[in-house]
Structures are given as structure tokens and as C-alpha cells.
A = this chain, B = another copy of it.
């Protein structure tokens, strides 16, 4: 049965609160108060079995007494009472509930049983519920506030906050208010027995009042579904995630380097990247990014201008730009000529533009105008330590109309505290992001650039690799028990998806050797096959670069006779025939199935040192050409495919192709738990999987 949509949560006609309390110390009192004071335009009904009145409204003894319409019920009574109350609500036809009460799964098995009952009731009646053990939700525009948090609530704004942690909501509301910005909505998810982060992400994204979404995540309910939803949302609105809680184990038994090197964190990171979600490193960063994305236009490029009245912070900002991989803009002659007309000659006329300490508010405004007019400038960071001769407030007032008149992003580093407070307030009032230090200001400009790149990146969708023989691969994998795939089948499997492999086959006689050579393709190498001879080349048991059937046939006789002469007693089984490999570079390709996000592809420097060097990059299957390309660009193994000093260039395109095919193979066959190609030999033309391991899982 498809789940009901979440509309009743976000635009309910009528709300009832079960557990509204007349005692001010109780959370049920705060909840009723917040809901009534929120300005919610529909009817609010309060329920308490003891009856009476609260805030001038009657306290109904049961939900059955409450008049229609009631789209949403908020429950805040003792956990053991919840399932029955929920069922009563469901029977009455209410389709949405918020269970704010704690005492469920988070407290142990008894609570878990209560929670399971709630889930059963919801399924039975087609009801949806948020929680239990949550703070509820806030919509500042509807408006609506079902929380019991102490007032004041958040101001109106355009940023939504969706949180696995209820406890941080109060802190967030308070902090955000102190920072002078508002929220469009806030949803606390609690135990997610029914509604989860993915459901809410979709619902919140539909709200036109929300322009940026912040996700505080401790886990994901269904990795692939989350990715689908998040990708869809990211194409419309920036999504910023703070993912907390790293896997501490990460020590799972692994059959390959790839397995040992990927943990759920790597997969989570790859998932967020693939769907265009910005991953913040810290709580504060998430908020600062959100505010900047909500308030600024996106830049056209990565060229930043820095405008300052002081050298030191200008240099700090330039360092930060380098860290954030932004470019320092070069000013046009026209811009420079303009600046020189009013700035003192001792000013520094390259980027950072240092107007010197004497800079007036007008200097700031005029300089900023010129910088924003320069076609070589994509964004501007304005730095204002308290100017010695003027007030920072006057600087802010002077630059605001300039910023508002431009369609390029401008952020301001106002350094100080009391001396810049007035300036802070001016800027906040008109939604220009301000920071206390140049570094976070530059990080904010960088996130705008990254958002621009994400929008371009999301234009690409994986196209199926061509000439992949799914039927053949299926035949190879069919009915194979879990465990390592037999080596003769690994090559066949990879080749069914167009990844060339190196074959080594035993030929008992010369005729068979020629046959194998024909199959493998010339030139070939032959080596005597004997369990008793270890140094085969020492006994003349190896012949390289045989180019035709005649050489192979003659070669067979030669190496066998050489070996017999050198080691008279040795058993000789024939010769191993193998394609003569060209010289080339060696890389590792791997894929391992993540429980949440599916096949995670790895690329990098291979060999036995892969786990030590950690020259590796990861992406989730299936891969676009662009994703495969960035796996190469993000590793030394990939970068040197273009050649480096006396390392010759190798067939980079063939590696990209092999990566895309490998990803497709793992994506098509869920029973593939791991594949590792180590090494993949990359010649000047073509690639060869030299050593391949495939592990199948039980599923």
C-alpha cells in the first residue's frame, strides 16, 4: 500500500493536542501555549481527560468530542497510553499524528513494543506519524508551532531545519535568532518509527517559502531512496547535511583491499556527493553556509575580489581563498584606473585591494562598485575592521545599496564586537551575510561556487555502458554459491561487460598452445609449466613476444626441451600461454557493496601497498563519465595517466570506460559483494585486468 502523503502535517485543517496541561511546569502546557501563540490560522483543540479550560479553550475529555475538522493530532501523554489514543484518533479519521512523548524504543524492549504497536496501527488505518520521542514541528510562515520549547520561537526565514536530534532544536532556534536570521520550518524526527528524514525532505522541499534545507543526520533510513529524493531536491534547492556519528568498527571482514578501505562513512560521503548535497564539517559551518545560500545570488565563476582597509586581514582572506580553491580575480585596467582616481597612491592596487586605514565609507562604496562592475570579478569579500577614522556602521550603510544593486554575491567580514555591532545589524536587516573573521566569510563564498558546480554536475545522468552482455553475465553468476567466484569465471564475467582480461591457459601440447595463442591474440608469452621448476627463465623456459603460430609451435618444443635438459627429473605439464602484455601503468579498480547505498566504486594506486598509500577515490555506482573522470583527477594514480616526467601517458579513456563498466556490472547484479582488479594494466592503448577477484554474497 503506498504511503499517505505528508500534507496534513504541513498544512493541517484543525489541530488537536492530546495531553494539553493546565500546569505550567508540564510540557503539555508549553505545547498548547506555543500552538495558540504561533498564530496558526486553523482551529486548535485541547484534550485532557480531566476536562476544564486552558487559555480560554475547553479541555475536551477525549478526541472523540473534538469537532471537525482535525487533520493533525499532537500526542504528549505517557508512552503506555499512546497506542490506544493513536488508534482512537485513527478510527476518528485523523490521518496525521505527532507523537512527542518519549519512553519508546530509546528506553528498551518494552518501549520498542509500544512503538511497534503504533506502527501497526498507522499501517492498519493508513495514518502517518512523526516521532515518537520528538520535539514536533514549526512552520513560521503558515504559521504553526507544535513544540513545547520555551519561547521565543524562530523568526520567519527561508531556511528549513530537519533534525534527527530533538535536543539540539532548542539550541538551534536560540542560536539562529542570535545570529539574526530566521527559519522557514523546523522538523524534529525523533525515533522515525514511521515518517523519516527522506519523507520530510521531500515534503519540505515542496514549500515555496523554503529556499535552503539543512539536514542534521545521524543515519539514513533507506540509502538509495534517500539518494533519489535528495538528488531531486538538490536540483531545485540547496541541501546542506551535517552527518554525525562515524562508524567505529569499520573493521569488517574483507576479502579485498577495496573492502578493507571502504566504511559506511566513505559510502555516506560518496552518496551525498553524488546527489549534490553539501556536506558541512561542523554545526556552525552548516548554518553559515545555509544563510549565505539563502541570501546571495550564485556567482558566475570562482574569481573572488577582496576589498579591505587593512593588509593583514586581506592576506588572511587570500590564504583562505587558496584553501577553498577559489581564484583571486585580476582587476581590469578600467577598474584600476577608476580606483586610482580616488584611492591614495600608497594603496595596494592588486587583489586584495587594500585601500589603507584612511578608507572612508565612500571609498568602500566606490571601490566596491568598480569591483562589482569588473567582468573579471565573480564575487567580493569586503573586510572591515573598525576603521580608525569612521564608524563601521557608516561603512555598512554606504555599501548596502551597492550590494543590493549588483547581481554578484558579496559577503562582509566585520572584525570586532561592540564597534561593529551597528554595522552587523544594518547588514542582517537586508540579508547580507556578515562574519567576524575573513576565513568563514571566504568559506561562505566558496560554498556558493560549489553550489554552482553542483547544479552543473546534476545535469549529468549516468548512461548505460554500451555493449554490456547482461544475459551472459547472468548465466555466469546463476546458481553460483556465495563466496569467491572461480578464477576462470571472473575473466568471463568482466569480459561480458567489456573489460579486457589477461588469460593464462595451460597447453599440454604444441597444437593446443597454438590454439590458445590464436584465442588470446598475438603476441603471446609462453612459459614452461612445471611444479618442479621455479626459476623458469634461468632454464630457458620462457619465450617472449611470439607473434605467429609457427613461433608458438616451435617455441613449445624449445622451452620444453630446454627445461628437460636443465632439469632432467622435472615433471613438465606443458606450457602456459598468455598474452604478451605491453608496458604500462598499473592501477586498482574495485567495487564493494554498501548495505545502505549499494555498489561503491574505488579507484587509485594499486599493488600491495594500496592500504598504506591510500591514494584512492570513491564514488557510488552507476557512474557518469564526469564522476569517473573525477575519480582519476582526485588520485595521483589517475593524474599520472596523462603522463608525468618520464612516465609515458597511458590510455586514460580506456580506464574511464572500464570504471563505468565495472560500476554497471556491480549495479546490475546485487549478488556481487566485491570485485577487485589489482592491477589493471593501462597501456598506451587499452587496459588489461591482470588479477581479478570477485566475491558473491548470499543474496
Residues of chain A touching chain B, judged by Cβ–Cβ distance below 8 Å, are: 25, 27, 106-108, 148-150, 163-168, 170-172, 174-175, 177-179, 216, 218, 242, 244-246, 281-284, 309-313, 315-316, 318-320, 322, 345-346, 357, 385-386, 388-389, 415-420, 436-440, 605, 608-609, 611-615, 636, 639-640, 644-647
Q: Would B418 and A174 count as touching, CB distance under 8 A?
A: yes
Q: Would A175 and B640 count as touching, CB distance under 8 A?
A: no
Known: A283-B439, A613-B636. A416 touches B385 (CB 8 A): no
Copies of the protein in its oligomer: 2
Known: A437-B282, A608-B646, A613-B613. A164 touches B416 (CB 8 A): no
Q: Would B417 and A177 count as touching, CB distance under 8 A?
A: yes
Q: Would B165 and A418 count as touching, CB distance under 8 A?
A: no
Q: Would A439 and B282 count as touching, CB distance under 8 A?
A: yes
* Chain B residues, CB < 8 A from A179: 417
Q: Would A311 and B167 count as touching, CB distance under 8 A?
A: yes
Q: Would A171 and B282 count as touching, CB distance under 8 A?
A: no
Q: Would B609 and A165 count as touching, CB distance under 8 A?
A: no
Bound Cα distance from A436 to B149, whole angstroms? 19
| Complex: chain B residue closest to A287, CB-CB | B437
Bound Cα distance from A302 to B309, whole angstroms? 42
- Cβ 8 A contact of A385, one of B164, B167, B216: B167
Q: Would B170 and A346 count as touching, CB distance under 8 A?
A: no
9 closest A-B pairs by CB? A165-B312, A178-B417, A167-B310, A171-B415, A174-B416, A171-B385, A107-B346, A282-B439, A171-B416
Bound Cα distance from A167 to B388, whole angstroms? 9
* Chain B residues, CB < 8 A from A645: 608, 611
* Chain B residues, CB < 8 A from A244: 312, 315-316, 319
* Chain B residues, CB < 8 A from A640: 609, 612
18 residue pairs A–B, Cβ–Cβ below 8 Å: A107-B346, A108-B345, A108-B346, A148-B388, A165-B311, A166-B310, A167-B312, A174-B417, A174-B419, A178-B417, A242-B316, A244-B316, A245-B319, A282-B320, A608-B644, A609-B636, A609-B647, A614-B636
A97 smallest CB distance to B (angstroms): 21
Bound Cα distance from A107 to B356, whole angstroms? 11
Having A163-B312, A174-B416, A605-B613, one finds 8 other A-B pairs with CB under 8 Å, namely A106-B346, A165-B313, A167-B313, A174-B386, A175-B436, A244-B319, A282-B440, A608-B647
